Amino acid sequence: MFPDGASAAPEKGFFVTTATQIDLDAVNRQLAGATPEHVVRWAAETFSTGLVMTSSFGAQSAVMLHLVTQVIPDIPVVFVDTGYLFPETYQFAEALTRRLKLNLKVYQSPLSPARMEALMGRLWEEETKEALDRYDQIRKKEPMQRALRELGVTAWLAGLQRHQTEHRSKLRVVELQNGMPKIHPVLEWTSRDVYQYLKRHDLPYHPLYEQGYASIGDVHSTRPIGEGMNERDGRFGGLKQECGLHLPTTPDENDSRGASNL
């Protein structure tokens, strides 16, 4: 992170404000057409030490992790560990943490997987959206909310892309989620853009990507996809495609059907 009194200079014409006075319309006009690197620099200048990024260590996560840490080497990287991830995901996270020297912050539910199953059963086997929502609240959303509080977060970098879901197709580069600025540097990128960045910097896909896993979450709710399927069709048995981390607390969360690998 930039030391006190120093920062990356924003590009000429970039709108700089404070988290409490942010003008979303003005910011998004100024950032229209900006490169992802420039968006990250703007976020670092604007939010300083209150800025974090999240990573699922999914199929293409190396892109955002590399892109952001080239600008902010020691930015806190929040990794929500559900306790049900693939062994390959844990290994991938460890390898990228070493290679990119990540300032990794791992958050987990205080309710262990074994205890949750004993008290509530295997929620994902109920095959209802209500059960999956409860699972996501316990294993993903509560740890993320705790991370935001404990780390004193004032803004959040996330690798969402517009083409991934209907909800994400409506996003702007900077939005408010539950009152917090959330910045999407690669929102306009396509799968080809991601591929080219990975190749250019010799970065790896998740080990399961070559086996047909385009979007990778928990072992019990992730399947390979077939030709012509959406990236997230292999998640949650098709019942939903957003876990809620990237949705505001509104009816949109219940209506989401369609979602990130970064």
Catalytically active residues are 243
Strand runs labelled E in 101-151: 103-107
* 3-class secondary-structure state, position 237: helix
CB-facing half-sphere around the CA of 39: CA atoms within 13 A: 27
| Distance in angstroms (rounded) separating the CA atoms of residues 209 and 129 | 26
* 3-class secondary-structure state, position 155: strand
The rounded radius of gyration (Å) of the Cα atoms in the chain is 18
Burial class (CB in 10 A: 0-12, 13-18, 19+), 174: buried
Burial class (CB in 10 A: 0-12, 13-18, 19+), 234: buried
| Distance in angstroms (rounded) separating the CA atoms of residues 28 and 42 | 11
* 3-class secondary-structure state, position 50: helix
| Distance in angstroms (rounded) separating the CA atoms of residues 73 and 27 | 24
